[in-house]
Amino acid sequence: MLLKQMLETPTTSSNLVVYDPFQGFDRESLVKEVLGLANAKVDGPRNILFGVNPGAMNGSTIVGIPDDAIGELKRAHRYISALIEPVLDLAFIFDRINGKLVGALEIDGCEFGPYFLAQDLSDELRRGACWIREDRELVAVARQELLGGHAPAQEEEEEEPAPEYSPDDVNIDVGFNEDPESDFIEVSVPDTSNPPFAEEGDAFDEMKKTGRFTQTLTEVTTRIMSLAKSGRSTGDEGRDGDDAGKEIAEAARKHYFYEECAVKVDLCIRNDSDIDLKDVRVEIGFPRLAGFDVADQIYRSPFDKRSGADGKERDYPDVEHKDDAIFVRTTVASIPGQTTQPLLLTPLRFAVGPKAAGKKIAMQYVVRGPDRKRLDDGRLKVRLGFKKAGDEAAETVHQSLDDA
């Protein structure tokens, strides 16, 4: 919908929210509004309109927004896009009408929902939280309800008390692929010697010494932008070309290292107990090693919108990078007694460079109950690349979880 068309009837509905021009740009409220519109049961793009007061009794409803708010809103919408899963297409458009600045945040590509908050922001905005816009009402809903027709979240519903398990009654094994007894694997390491735009990056370093740097950067940016033409949103039109090109190149490199050429490892978990387990939390610790990294999300290609959306629909575990270790955490909702099931819905992604190739890494895991009590622990090992005949055994690098 064009900006001028929105201004003809600026009324909040399931596909248009008229943002209070006197409220200020609170990012938490914007996150809720974006989620609500993305989950709304309407077709096509949805918009949040800024700089309009629909309640004005006399005169123009356009009150405008400050010029410096454009940069703030652009930063906010990029920040918000990183907080919401699956991937949404967000674009900020603006225009000056009757001397006053108005803008709209366009939300498109809403066919891959339900959409939810990907990480904790505050006591109210927790990971997994969902909202839906129903005409003039913004309603909190449970994500599970949106999967099969939404229903308002039951605020007064009594929660089931978390079960308590004794470590003496629990026997859990974590292993690779579909074998819980498999505690060691060797994986092939893809060739990562030719990342996208590597030649242009080297050229930039050389060109910095000459006056041709800016011209060359612009030319390369133009080529990058033309490659990504099908993946650009209307919000790119108002952005600096060099910045947009750099963002696309960086997104392409991340997709290359963390998705296209990543080592993908599947894990499984077995409950050898006779009791059914619920809300089991598994924590895995990796060492910080030169040339080795664990992806913190599924990185989509900037040239393929659907690949990112499809990947984000599957839950990827929480990954935390610290100075001395990398921690992966996931919660399994239910593991019936005497059964084996996948630990993760999507494989872990390892980025492996030449310095880590051939190394053997130990992954120490801890299994905890809903009350955070330690139920079991163990260690898995993965060799990054196959051992050649005659090679000496590499020292195993590991990280303790005792102080995690």
| Per-domain residue ranges of the chain | 3-147, 167-189+262-397, 198-260
Q: Are 340 and 178 within 8 A, CB to CB?
A: yes
CATH pick for 3-147 out of 1.10.390, 1.20.50, 1.10.10, 3.30.950: 3.30.950
Per-position pLDDT tens, the chain of length 404 = 577 777 777 888 888 998 887 777 677 888 899 999 999 989 888 988 888 887 654 556 788 888 777 777 777 777 787 788 887 888 888 888 888 888 888 888 888 778 888 887 877 788 888 999 998 899 988 877 777 554 445 444 455 666 778 888 899 999 999 999 999 999 999 988 888 876 554 444 454 455 444 454 455 555 555 554 444 444 444 455 567 777 888 888 898 999 999 999 999 999 999 999 999 999 999 999 999 999 999 888 887 655 444 444 457 899 999 888 999 999 999 999 999 999 998 899 999 999 999 999 999 999 998 888 889 999 999 999 987 665 555 555 555 444 44
Q: How much is the pLDDT for 365?
A: 94
Cα(352)–Cα(292) distance, integer angstroms = 5
Q: If one looks up domain 167-189+262-397 in CATH, what number appears?
A: 2.60.40.10
Cα atoms found within 13 Å of the Cα of residue 312, Cβ hemisphere only: 25
Give the contacts of 29 (CB within 8 A, at least 6 positions apart).
23
Cα(45)–Cα(90) distance, integer angstroms = 10
The region, left, alpha or beta by phi > 0 then psi within -120 to 50, assigned to residue 30 is alpha
Q: How much is the pLDDT for 94?
A: 83
Q: How much is the pLDDT for 60?
A: 64
Cα(215)–Cα(48) distance, integer angstroms = 37
Q: How much is the pLDDT for 284?
A: 95
According to DSSP, residue 363 is labeled E
Q: How much is the pLDDT for 128?
A: 84
CA 38, 41, 22: angle at the middle one, nearest 5?
A: 50
Q: How much is the pLDDT for 29?
A: 86
According to DSSP, residue 292 is labeled E
Q: How much is the pLDDT for 336?
A: 94
pTM: 0.52
Q: How much is the pLDDT for 7?
A: 78
Amino acid at 141: V
Q: How much is the pLDDT for 307?
A: 44
- Is the bond into 347 cis (omega within 30 degrees of 0)? no
| Tokens, residue 189 | 């390491």
